[in-house]
Structure 1
Amino acid sequence: MSSTEQYTVGWICALQAEYLAARAFLEKRHDPPEELSPNDNNHYTLGAIRGHQVVIAVLPDGEYGTSSAACVARDMLHSFPNIRFGLMVGIGGGAPTKQDIRLGDIVVSSPQRGHGGLLQYDFGKEIQDHEFHQTGFLNQPPTILRTAVSGLQVQYEEEGHQLKESIQTVLEGNKRLRRKYAQPPVESDRLYDSQYTHLQDSQSDCAKICDSSKLIRRPQRDEDEDNPAIHYGLIASGNRLMKNAMFRDKLAAEQDILCFEMEAAGLMNHFPCLVIRGVCDYADSHKNKEWQGYAAMMAAAYAKDLLRQIVPQRVSHERKAIEAIRGQLKDVSKNIDKIHDITSGSAMEIKSMAQTIDLKELPVAEGAEFGTYMDQHEEECLQGTREELLYDINEWAVSPESKCIFWLNGLAGTGKSTISRTVAKSFKKQGFLVYLPLLHK
Structure 2
Amino acid sequence: MNSQGELPRRQDFRVGWIAALQKEYLAARQVLDVHYEDYEVSRHASDVNHYTFGRIGKHYVVIANLPTGVIGTHSASAVANGLTNTFPLIRFALMVGIAGGAPTEKNDVRLGDVIIGTRMVPYSFIRQHHDRRENIGDIIVSSRDLLSTTNAVQAKITEGTVELDNIITSRFNKTEAIIEGFKRPDAGSDRLYQPDYIHAKSCDCLDAHSNYPDTQVQREERKLYEKIKVHYGPIGSADIVLRDANERDRLSEKFNLLGFEMESAGICLDKLPILPVRGICDYADSHKSKQWQGYAAAVAAVYARCLLQSVSSGELFEANNPVNAEDLTKEIELLVTTVTKMTSSRLEEQLQRHESKLEEHDKIYHNASQTMKEVREMIKMMWIVFENSAQVNSKTNDLDRQTRDNTVAIQSAHLKIEEGQKQLQKILDKMQDHIQRQQEISSPEQRPKWEVLQAEAEKENTSLEEVTKKTEAALGSAVIAFDQLSTVTGNQKFKHANSNINWIKLEEFREFPTSHSQATTTP
TM-score of the aligned structures, taking structure 2 as reference length: 0.57
Does 1:40 find its partner at 2:41? Answer: no
Which residue of structure 1 aligns with residue 113 of structure 2?
A: 105
Report matched runs for 1:96-175 at 5 Å.
96-97=103-104, 98-110=106-118, 117-125=119-127, 133-159=134-160, 161-175=162-176
| CA pair 208-157 structure 1, distance change in 2 beyond 3 A | closer
**2:421 counterpart residue number:** none
The structure 2 residue matched to 1:11, chosen from 11, 17, 27, is 17
State the secondary structure of the residue aligned to 2:94.
strand
**Preserved CA contact (<8 Å) 2:204 2:212:** no
Q: Return the match for 1:51 from 50, 58, 81.
A: 58
Three-state SS of the structure 2 residue aligned to 1:316 is helix
Whether contact under 8 Å (2:277, 2:300) holds in the other structure is yes
Q: Tell me, what secondary structure is at the counterpart of 1:8?
A: strand
1:20 corresponds in structure 2 to 26
Check the 8 A contact 1:206/1:286 in 2, yes or no.
no
Q: CA deviation at 1:319?
A: 4.3
Partner of 1:266: 266
Aligned length: 319
Q: What secondary structure does 1:242 align onto? A: coil
Match of 2:309 in 1: 308
Cα deviation for residue 124 of structure 1 reads 2.5
Q: Paired residue for 1:67?
A: 74
Mapped partners of 1:29, 1:19: distance in 2: 13
Residues of 2 paired with 1:127 and 1:149: CA distance?
Answer: 40
Q: Which one-letter code corresponds to 1:88 in the other structure?
A: M
One-letter identity of the residue aligned with 1:244: D
User: CA, structure 1 residues 320+159, in 2 after alignment: closer, same or farther (shift >3 Å)?
Assistant: farther
Task: Report how far residue 13 of structure 1 moved.
Answer: 0.6
The within-5 A match list for 1:415-426 is none
Structure 1: how far apart are the matches of 2:129 and 2:56? 47
State the AA in 2 paired with 1:17: K
Is contact 1:109–1:235 with CA below 8 Å preserved after alignment?
Answer: yes
Separation in 2 of the partners of 1:290 and 1:228? 17
Counterpart CA distance in 2 for 1:92 and 1:226 is: 20
Q: Partner of 1:30 in structure 2?
A: 36
Q: Determine the structure 1 residue equivalent to 2:451.
A: none
1:62-101 matches, within 5 Å, as 62-97=69-104, 98-101=106-109
Following superposition, the deviation at residue 200 of structure 1 comes to: 6.6
Give the distance between the partners of 2:324 and 2:151, measured in 1 at CA. 22
Q: Is the contact between residue 52 and residue 63 of structure 2 (CA under 8 Å) also seen in structure 1?
A: yes
Query: Contact between 2:120 and 2:142, CA under 8 Å: does it hold in 1?
Result: no
Describe the shift of the 1:96–1:322 C-alpha distance in structure 2 as closer, same or farther (beyond 3 A): farther
Higher helix share: 2
Alpha-carbon displacement from aligned partner over 1:78-112 (angstroms, at most 9, x marks no partner): 111210111000000000123111100000012xx
| Identity across matched positions, percent | 37
- Counterpart CA distance in 1 for 2:279 and 2:325 is 28
Aligned residue identity for 1:122: S
Residue by residue over 1:336-385, the C-alpha shift from the partner in whole angstroms, topping out at 9 and shown as x without a partner, is: xxxxxxxxxxxxxxxxxxxxxxxxxxxxxxxxxxxxxxxxxxxxxxxxxx
* Matches of 1:139 and 1:21, distance apart in 2: 26
Q: Do 1:161 and 1:226's aligned partners in 2 also have CA atoms closer than 8 Å?
A: no
Is 1:218 the equivalent of 2:226?
no
Residue 211 of structure 1, CA deviation: 4.8
3-state secondary structure, aligned to 1:257: coil
Q: C-alpha separation between the residues in 1 aligned to 2:43 and 2:190?
A: 43
- Give 1:426's aligned residue: none
CA distance in 2, matches of 1:272, 1:179: 34
- Between structure 1 and structure 2, the one with the greater Rg is 2
2-structure distance, mates of 1:208, 1:157: 32
Which letter maps to 1:174? Answer: T
Q: Is the 8 A contact 1:84 1:320 kept in 2?
A: no
Partners of 1:207 and 1:184 in 2: how far apart? 11
- Whether the 8 Å CA contact 1:42–1:72 is kept in 2: the answer is yes
- 1:127 CA displacement: 5.9
Amino acid at match of 1:42: N
Q: Where in structure 2 are the equivalents of 1:183-194 lying within 5 Å?
A: 183-194=184-195
Contact 1:81 / 1:322 at 8 angstroms: preserved in 2? no
The 1:60–1:321 alpha-carbon spacing in structure 2 relative to 1, beyond 3 Å, is: farther
Bigger Cα displacement from structure 2, 70-79 vs 146-155: 146-155
Distance change in 2, residues 1:109/1:322 (3 Å): farther
What residue identity is the alignment partner of 1:43? H
C-alpha displacement of 1:17: 0.2
Equivalent position amino acid for 1:124 in 2: I
Aligned-partner Cα distance in 2 for 1:207–1:239: 32
Supply the distance in 2 between the matched residues of 1:196 and 1:65 (Cα, whole angstroms).
28
Conserved in 2, the CA contact under 8 Å of 1:126 and 1:133? yes
Deviation at 1:219, TM superposition (A): 2.1
Q: How many Å apart are 1:146 and its aligned residue?
A: 1.6
Structure 1 residue runs without a partner (length 5+): 111-116, 335-441
RMSD: 2.7
CA distance in 2, matches of 1:153, 1:212: 34
Taking a change above 3 Å as real, the CA distance of residues 76 and 320 of structure 1, as seen in their structure-2 partners, is: farther
C-alpha separation in 1, matches of 2:307 and 2:20: 20
Q: Secondary structure at the match of 2:121?
A: strand
- Deviation, structure 1 residue 222: 1.8
